[in-house]
Structure 1
């Protein structure tokens, strides 16, 4: 059965890579403005087409991040257009669906990258703590470790996407985040309801894993081969995330009279996650053209994630020592 699950993962990953190479585009007020269009056409025709060596004149770190003359023209013309808007009393506008950010050593969204790396670190720390602290005999240790690995993968691609926004890095970021959210729901259901310990548990978890894999393959296929619908993608991830939140709320409610203070952490954590996600609703032009609501959301998830892993460790160890009332009493007071 493990081999079948592994083959499902390989099949998904192959389609995942293929889908990530397909392009998508969106237009915004800034890139549609005549001033920007004129600037971009002049830059490409004069600086790029008439001077093919222009790519080699870019700094090495920009070439390392796959900047070329054309993409650099798009960035430079955003600067010129923003200056034009400011001189005419027009607020900052979006370009190709995103705000203008000051580039730092070739990095497009410096603080989103930095805060994504913070999240990567806290997931790595969670992985190491679970590997050390959760007893090997615990029924869901392997699943929890996989969850942390998928989380690390999501934040790696978030960092890459914010370093350099391309059609490929965008899809790898969005699809990796979707995989983490969906696997988070699967992990929550198995962990909270101990599905793998119930009678017929392995067939149940296998069926659930298969259904989730097929749902995710359908999701990325729709976005890749039909249309890259940002609104649909957001709603799909939000819906799955809310289902996970309900599972965590239910756990805290079910154990409300247990006398164990850490059983409140799931409800508190998902409440904090929902409050932090509300930052995405208050979209604003970046402060100093560097920090926006999206980057602040990434920052807010760092301490929350730490406590989520702490809860998983606490509950897993507590489950393992369930046969010893004395140890349960001692551990419950930690």
Structure 2
């Protein structure tokens, strides 16, 4: 019996190591793009060329973790896009570095931070955290529960955008960026539920103490 966890762990490690690296979009698999990426990395991402890249790289790009490979991916993506356009071919979607995705990610985090601060300002520290689930809330028919249910359902619906694979609209808004943008207002909806629920539980506890 003692050997079973070790055997299971070994099987999991073997399963994780077996698959080849996955490429999420068609553009990543295009021979033209892959050849460009391989050539760019050979020429620019090792030895003196890599040191030169790091010396010329703006500070903000280094702080965000932008690497030589990222630069090659970005340049080769646009090179492939231009060649496909010139040939009259449909432009595939790439993993890309669309600025809208980065901006939407920042706004998503900002919305979460703002609503967390509002939650802390609106709800007294004495309010209990609820150890309940959505089913309990539905059973009590609390008027604010719809916010939690809506946030969960909308989040699942937005996840369908990750299954789409299309070139970015106006070369900025791809499916991943739209997913990030769609999740921004969900922070407001979900934290509104947290505030309502915490205040409800606080009032329920206060009423209970009054009865006692």
Tell whether the structures are fold-level matches, with TM greater than 0.5. yes
TM-score, reference length from structure 1:
0.47
| Match in the other structure for 1:175 | none
- SS of corresponding position for 1:26: coil
1:41–1:136 distance in 2 versus 1, CA, 3 Å: closer
1:40–1:298 distance in 2 versus 1, CA, 3 Å: closer
Cα distance in structure 1, aligned partners of 2:34 and 2:112 = 42
| Match in the other structure for 1:253 | 138
Kindly report the root-mean-square deviation, in angstroms, between the aligned alpha carbons of the 2 structures. 3.2
Cα distance in structure 1, aligned partners of 2:67 and 2:154 = 41
| Match in the other structure for 1:35 | 32
How many equivalent residue pairs? 186
Matches within 5 A, 1:176-215: 191=130, 193=132
| Match in the other structure for 2:114 | 125
Given the alignment of the two structures, is residue 301 of structure 1 paired with residue 188 of structure 2, yes or no? no
Cα distance in structure 1, aligned partners of 2:188 and 2:68 = 42
Cα distance in structure 1, aligned partners of 2:176 and 2:140 = 34
1:115–1:29 distance in 2 versus 1, CA, 3 Å: closer
Long gaps (5+) in structure 2: 1-19
1:39–1:50 distance in 2 versus 1, CA, 3 Å: farther
| Structure 1 residues 106-160: Cα deviation after superposition (integer angstroms, max 9, x where no partner) | xx332222222222222222322232232322232xxxxxxxxxxxxxxxxxxxx
| Match in the other structure for 1:262 | 144
- Is the 8 Å Cα contact of residues 266 and 311 (structure 1) preserved in structure 2? yes
Deviation at 1:66, TM superposition (A): 4.6
- SS of corresponding position for 1:324: helix
Cα distance in structure 1, aligned partners of 2:126 and 2:47 = 67
Cα distance in structure 2, aligned partners of 1:65 and 1:263 = 39
Larger Rg: 2
- Is the 8 Å Cα contact of residues 112 and 295 (structure 1) preserved in structure 2? yes
- SS of corresponding position for 2:126: coil
Q: Which has the higher contact order (CA 8 A, sep 6+)?
A: 2
Cα distance in structure 1, aligned partners of 2:28 and 2:184 = 34
| Structure 1 residues 179-215: Cα deviation after superposition (integer angstroms, max 9, x where no partner) | xxxxxxxxxxxx252xxxxxxxxxxxxxxxxxxxxxx
Long gaps (5+) in structure 1: 1-23, 101-107, 141-190, 194-246, 328-334
| Match in the other structure for 1:181 | none
Cα distance in structure 2, aligned partners of 1:123 and 1:109 = 22
- SS of corresponding position for 1:261: coil
Deviation at 1:291, TM superposition (A): 0.9
